[in-house]
Structures are given as C-alpha cells and as structure tokens.
Amino acid sequence: MAEILYADDDELAREMVHQVLEAAGHTVRAVTDGARALEEVRRGPPELVLLDYRMGEPDGFAVCGMIKDDPALGHLPVLILTGEGKIDSRLRGFQAGADDYIAKPVDSRELVAKVA
C-alpha cells in the first residue's frame, strides 16, 4: 500500500486518521505542523500528502503550494482536510494545487476511498 505523510495540529484527528489509514494497510508519517510537513516531504517524498488546512503557519494551502511549485515534488498528490465548508476555501485549496478535499469531521470510509 502507500506511504502517506499527514500533517495536522489536532492530536485527536492525527491519531484517528493514522489508525484508519494503517488499518487499511498504509504506512503513515504524522507531523504536527506545516514546517515539519515540508521537512518530511523533502527528506523522503511519500506517495501521498494529507494536509490539514488550519494548522498555523504555514497552513495547509501554503504547504500544498510549496510542494506543487517544487519541480522535484510537484507530482505528489495532495489532499486537503478541512472543516471549512465554504466554496471559497475549497477553491483556494485547488488554486494552491490540491488534488482533492476531504471534509472534517472525516468519514473513515471516504478517507480510505479517496486515498486508494
């Protein structure tokens, strides 16, 4: 299965997503913020990046944009997890290069399906 990098400042969300994805057979590297996510992606690119939108600076949109703007990393698929339901927030994510969105609270079935 896939190696996934997941960045979220919410400990409970990190634990839940980590457990769901590992139960589905994936390997998950979880970090607490955008700066660590960028470090991890550059240290060893995963097959998929999951980013919480609101996790301090840089936020998930900024991290997504930095990944997509990097010629060595721009091919990585990025999913944004967010509690923001407004179309403007979703559009900002797509403008940053996000490949898809997952709404919080996360439904484990949707998460596993989109990751697959």
pTM to 2 decimals? 0.92
Residue 3: per-residue pLDDT: 98
What span, in angstroms and rounded, lies between the C-alpha atoms of 14 and 12? 5
Residues contacting 111, CB < 8 A, separation 6+: 17, 20, 21, 102
pLDDT in tens, 10-54: 999 999 999 999 999 999 999 999 999 999 999 999 999 999 998
Closest CA to 76 of 7, 3, 18, 20: 3
pLDDT in tens, 57-106: 899 999 999 999 999 999 999 999 887 767 777 777 788 899 998 888 88
